[in-house]
């Protein structure tokens, strides 16, 4: 396996984030969704909704907070809810350290990880308990770079924190990378459960989950090493 698969540059556009094979897999996922009248999305929806509840919590080596794009250099309510939940898990003694993941995205001058770490420090989490991963541009890169840091530190068990609807996709990506995670949804993340926005977001996550599995299958079928290095 190559040591440095493609990583999107800071502040990347959607198209730059795609990387090797990304456009082809996106077109395949979109085309199959349209051709099958949305069936792939409806098929994934129950998993997205079911896994929004997360897993029972057990002690782990690390709490991983997945980043969220900043508004300027300000944290969104969703990102703050993720961080607050991670702080709560740490205070309950479920893991000794918190790692905040996320690079500089959009028009921000700060990385998501840097902004998240500052927020946690302001709320009393000591520096000795905080780590950052500030190179990634999206969830897959979050997990890929975190995997490298975990291997270097000899750690394996992760409590993965995000909003509930994000957990099915994040968990699938983590499993594909061989990471052992227990997913924990942050309470209070918008949109409110059961609302139109909630189901709309669930449908988007279902499509993104379909895209991931389509890309994984496509990469294996064409035996593309450069593509598989990013997801396995």
**pLDDT tens figures, 104-137:** 988 899 999 999 999 999 999 999 999 999 999 9
User: Residues 172-176: contacts with CB within 8 Å, 24+ apart?
Assistant: 172/209, 172/212, 172/213, 173/139, 173/140, 173/143, 173/212, 173/231, 174/143, 176/212, 176/216, 176/231, 176/232
Cβ neighbours, 10 Å, residue 203: 17
pLDDT digits (tens, 9 = 90+) for 174-205: 999 999 999 999 998 989 999 999 999 999 99
Residue 21 has pLDDT above 80, yes or no: yes
Residue 212 has pLDDT above 80, yes or no: yes
Q: Average pLDDT of 21-42?
A: 96
CA quadruple 14, 197, 117, 74: dihedral sign: positive
Q: What separation in angstroms does the CA of 75 have from each of 70, 110, 161, 214, 220? A: 5, 10, 16, 32, 38
What pTM, to 2 d.p., does this model score?
0.92
Q: Between the CA atoms of 103, 150, 48 and 217, what dihedral angle is there, to the nearest 10 degrees?
A: 90
For residue 4, what pLDDT is reported?
A: 67
User: What's the rounded Cα separation, in Å, for the pair 196 and 170?
Assistant: 22
Q: What separation in angstroms does the CA of 212 have from each of 21, 169, 208, 219? A: 11, 8, 6, 11
Lowest mean pLDDT among 24-38, 79-93, 143-157: 143-157
């Amino acid at each position: 396996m190559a040591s440095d698969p493609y990583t999107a540059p800071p502040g990347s556009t959607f198209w730059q984030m795609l990387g090797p094979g990304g456009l082809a897999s996106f077109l395949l996922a979109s085309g199959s969704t349209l051709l099958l009248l949305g069936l792939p999305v409806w098929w994934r929806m129950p998993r997205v909704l079911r896994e929004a509840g997360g897993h029972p919590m057990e002690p782990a080596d690390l709490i991983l907070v997945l980043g969220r794009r900043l508004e300027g250099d300000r944290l969104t309510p969703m990102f703050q809810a993720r961080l607050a939940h991670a702080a709560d898990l740490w205070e309950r003694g479920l893991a000794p350290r918190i790692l905040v993941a996320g690079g500089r995205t959009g028009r921000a001058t700060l990385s998501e990880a840097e902004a998240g770490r500052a927020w946690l420090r302001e709320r009393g989490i000591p520096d000795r308990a905080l780590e950052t991963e500030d190179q990634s541009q999206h969830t897959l890169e979050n997990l890929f770079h975190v995997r490298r840091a975990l291997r270097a530190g000899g750690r394996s068990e992760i409590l993965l924190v995000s909003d509930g609807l994000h957990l099915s996709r994040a968990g699938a990506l983590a499993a594909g990378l061989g990471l052992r995670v227990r997913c924990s949804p942050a309470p209070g993340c918008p949109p409110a459960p059961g609302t139109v926005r909630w189901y709309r977001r669930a449908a988007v996550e279902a499509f993104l989950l379909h895209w991931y599995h389509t890309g994984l299958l496509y990469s294996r079928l064409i035996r593309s090493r450069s593509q598989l290095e990013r997801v396995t």
